[in-house]
Structure 1
Amino acid sequence: MDGLTATDRAPCSDEASRPTDGPIDEPADGLTAPDGPPCPDEASRPAAGPADDPTDGLTAADGQPRTDTASRSTDGLADNPTGGPPAADGSDGSDRGGQAANGPGEGVVGVVGQAGSAPAAGPIPSVADPAPGGPAAPPSGVAALAVPYQVGAVVALVVVAVAVCVHLGMVFLHVTPSNTVNRQHAEAVDGWIYPEFEQNWKLFAPNPLQQNVAVQVRAEVGTADGGTRTTGWYDLSAEDGRAIDGNLLPSHTQQNQLRRAWDFYGAAHDADNRPVGLRGALAEQYLRRIVVLRLERGGAADAGGVLERVQVRSRTSNVPPPPWSSEKTTGKPAYRTLPWWTVPAGEARGGVR
């Protein structure tokens, strides 16, 4: 707006046909009538700065460039912030601008913004929450898999859960005192527990083990020329100890197979090495196969040799007591030597695996 009201000046005869490139409420500055001189009150109006005049570059109605742009003042915005012509009394016309904006008789000043400025700020629309019936979040986890993979995952979980329950049940029956249930299912429980999941409670017994037991073996080997030779003693327990030492994940077989075989034999035989009960022959066969297999792997027979007989013995030595203990022990080891066992042809030629 230029701050003028309808009562301040008479409109030009051709105002209705003037271009309307500027704001709707503000007449274009400095335009001339088609056939005559500029309107009386517009010729003396100072020009607003280029930023405030949205009609720069317009032409007159007859197609000729405007001739009044050179005489327009470029400091009109600084001298007259309202963009209106100065009043007759020397004021900047801000009162008249208020009358034009608010109607006659009102004294509110109307200020015109610069051309090209952003529109007046209105209330900021709030971001509405998503509608309750909007799209749901994408599935995650097992639900995100395809149907065949979901079925496979469920089956795997069921199998793992069943295996864990069976294992816990077997261990429970193994460690509980003798009762009707574990006696009835003793074979199934022992088959599940031994040798991998053996439970040894001797460490927590009132009298824990205080001895080191080493299992040793030697063999009679038939040579290629028909002769026979006897090997020295192989300390199989020492070999297992070297394999376990420094190994963060030692094999359960290296830790317990040989020890459990010797304990099994000792429990099934008396002090004279005579079988006790029906498991004596089984314990002897089990221990013999283990030592033959270890000798085969160690190359005891050499090239062309055949294992004919083996002999097993145990070497038991007491664990030295701590320095502060008054307990006295002997440092002399004790040996238990078993008789010679003939190796069957199938075992001697690598039949044991």
Structure 2
Amino acid sequence: MDGYDKGPGGGAAGPGEPAPEAAEPGIAGLRPGYQIAAACALVVVAIAACVHVGMLFLHVAPSNTVTKQHGDVIDEWIYPEFEQNWKLFAPNPLQQNVAVQARAELRTAEGGVRTTDWYELSAEDGAGIDGSLLPSHTQQNELRRAWDFYVGSHDSQNRPVGLRGQLSERYIRRIAYMRLDREEPGGRGDEIARVQLRSKTTNVRPPKWSDEKVSLKPAYRMLPWWPVEPDDLPLADDLPLAGEPDRARAEGMGR
């Protein structure tokens, strides 16, 4: 040893000199300006967390004076990222199986029109999830949440209630079109002109020890036919980009 003590910071302290003081941990070890900035950031995060928890509480709480007066503000905060579904903890949990089906009206290459059979969209998602250790979020929730979104924003006559009703229509229509287009229901040259959806709701059979009697006959909710709009069509990789049609036409004339 050379007679020098190593300070906490790794520096050497001379004989008889006090060791350098260790820096205080956490925010206290920062310079005053940084301490103020860190404290302000913590205050902002704490306020945002309190507001978020309060909004969630008001969203799931029974109707009250606050929700009646400020329901629009609460909905804007919650939807769509923080939507809550507490049906699992309801006094009467869901006792029905809801399956979503879709079919298409095709415009054939010969100029005719024909309608496909019903495609079991929910069953296809279930088959993709069954046996999968890591099923995708899309397979589990996209179709189910889209249907819940539609039902919750329409009345019993399938009339949209507010702007969310119109949004839900476009959303579920695009999902149906993309699913049907993936199945390629028509022949070469056939195009999907319209799509239609329906739900098939079946009661879950009560357990053997229960005296409850329920009908196992499925109930259907039929939605209207929706024409496929240009915005519903996915972008094709082989479509010419802006400014390319003239070049493609010139190349075709040069052949």
TM-score, normalised on structure 1?
Answer: 0.49
Distance 1:242 1:155, change over 3 A: farther
Match of 2:220 in 1: 335
SS at match of 1:198: coil
Question: Where does 1:37-48 land on structure 2 (aligned, <5 Å)?
Answer: none
2:194 counterpart of 1:315:
no
Question: In the alignment, which of 285, 289, 299 is matched to residue 174 of structure 2?
Answer: 289
Q: Is contact 1:220–1:308 with CA below 8 Å preserved after alignment?
A: yes
CA–CA separation in structure 1 for the residues paired with 2:218 and 2:120: 14
1:275 aligned partner, one-letter code: R
Distance 1:191 1:289, change over 3 A: farther
2:234 counterpart of 1:350:
yes
2:93 counterpart of 1:211:
no
2:64 counterpart of 1:190:
no
Distance 1:249 1:266, change over 3 A: closer
Residue 325 of structure 1, CA deviation: 1.9
Aligned length: 218
CA–CA separation in structure 1 for the residues paired with 2:40 and 2:188: 52
Question: In the alignment, which of 269, 284, 303 is matched to residue 155 of structure 2?
Answer: 269
More strand by share: 2
CA–CA separation in structure 2 for the residues paired with 1:302 and 1:152: 65
Cα deviations by residue, 1:167-197 (Å, 9 ceiling, x for unpaired):
2122122112223433343334223323443
CA–CA separation in structure 2 for the residues paired with 1:331 and 1:277: 31
1:187 aligned partner, one-letter code: D
Residue 320 of structure 1, CA deviation: 1.7
2:169 counterpart of 1:169:
no
| Gap runs ≥5 in structure 1 | 1-129
SS at match of 1:336: strand
Cα deviations by residue, 1:102-122 (Å, 9 ceiling, x for unpaired):
xxxxxxxxxxxxxxxxxxxxx
Residue 166 of structure 1, CA deviation: 3.5
Question: In the alignment, which of 294, 297, 306 is matched to residue 191 of structure 2?
Answer: 306
Match of 2:106 in 1: 221
2:99 aligned partner, one-letter code: A
Q: Is contact 2:128–2:135 with CA below 8 Å preserved after alignment?
A: no
CA–CA separation in structure 1 for the residues paired with 2:17 and 2:129: 64
Q: Is contact 2:160–2:166 with CA below 8 Å preserved after alignment?
A: no
Cα deviations by residue, 1:197-255 (Å, 9 ceiling, x for unpaired):
3222323333222110111111123344544443332222223334555455752x554
Q: Is contact 2:158–2:223 with CA below 8 Å preserved after alignment?
A: no
2:209 counterpart of 1:324:
yes
* Greater Rg over alpha carbons, structure: 1
CA–CA separation in structure 1 for the residues paired with 2:92 and 2:42: 43
Question: Where does 1:122-133 land on structure 2 (aligned, <5 Å)?
Answer: none
CA-atom RMSD in angstroms: 4.0
2:135 counterpart of 1:239:
no
| Gap runs ≥5 in structure 2 | 1-14, 236-255
Cα deviations by residue, 1:116-163 (Å, 9 ceiling, x for unpaired):
xxxxxxxxxxxxxx9895421245556778999989977875665454
SS at match of 1:197: coil
SS at match of 2:206: coil
Distance 1:249 1:219, change over 3 A: closer
Q: Which has the higher contact order (CA 8 A, sep 6+)?
A: 2
SS at match of 2:22: coil
CA–CA separation in structure 2 for the residues paired with 1:298 and 1:316: 24
More helix by share: 2
SS at match of 1:185: helix
Distance 1:269 1:150, change over 3 A: same
2:219 aligned partner, one-letter code: A
